[in-house]
Amino acid sequence: MVKMYKGMSERIVKHTSDASWPSAEAKAKSIAQAKTLRRQAAEGGLRFNAYLPPELADWLLARIEQGMFVDPSEAVFVILGEHEQLEPHADLRAELLRRTLQSAIDDPRSDIPAKQVFEELRKELSAPRTEPVCWEGSPAK
């Protein structure tokens, strides 16, 4: 039996359906590109595109509407900075994981048989998908 968070299957489907797991060759290319860009990025920064599945996109846009962030770029900057600060604290990261797992275990919704979960995932993977929207530009600073 599997307990699913609200939207978890959607996140899995969207993440895995846009591209298959990276091959060893693709990983090697990413590592090589990181090595090539690292010195220049250390001086000038790094720009990149990112895809957010619908549930995370909605979460982020709601925070922008509330004025928490100016745009998605600022959110990435702040959230990655917080993650960087948390990185050396393995005890806090382990506690967060423990609490996340315990929350799933304590979820009062009934368990879903794994077979049903995989059937739903296969169904969602085969369904047509809406094209993602794109945030254009950032406010002038």
pLDDT band at 104 (very low <50, low <70, confident <90, very high): confident
Domain hosting 76: range is 8-126
Would you state the pLDDT for residue 19? 52
Q: How far is the C-alpha of 54 from the C-alpha of 71, rounded, in Å?
A: 17
In a domain, 28, yes or no: yes
Flag whether 70 is in a domain: yes
DSSP letter at 112?
B
Looking at the domain assignment, is residue 38 inside a domain? yes
Output the six-digit token pair for 136: 């254009």
Lookup result for tokens 């959110």: 75
Number of Cβ within a 10 Å radius of residue 60: 19
Contact predicate 1/111, CB 8 Å? yes
pLDDT at 11 over 80: no
The answer to whether position 20 is within a domain reads yes
pLDDT surpasses 90 at 138: no
| 61 occurs within a structural domain | yes
Cα 61 to Cα 133: distance, rounded to the nearest angstrom: 12
Q: What 8-state DSSP symbol labels residue 20?
A: P
Is 3 within a domain? no
Query: Is 127:28 a contact under the CB 8 Å cutoff?
Result: no
Residue 141 belongs to some domain of the structure: no
SS3 124: helix
Strand partners, 112: 2
- For residue 132, being part of any structural domain is answered with no
Q: What is the pLDDT of residue 139?
A: 60
Between CA 124 and CA 128 the distance in angstroms is 8
Please tell me which residue, 112 or 43, carries the higher pLDDT value: 43
pLDDT at 112: 83
**Between these two residues, 16 and 39, which has the higher pLDDT value?**
39
- Global model pTM greater than 0.85: no
Greater confidence (72 vs 14) lies with: 72
* 61 has pLDDT over 70: yes
pLDDT-based confidence at 5, cuts 50/70/90? very low
Q: Residue 88 gets which letter from DSSP?
A: T
Number of domains in the chain: 1
73-78 average pLDDT score: 95
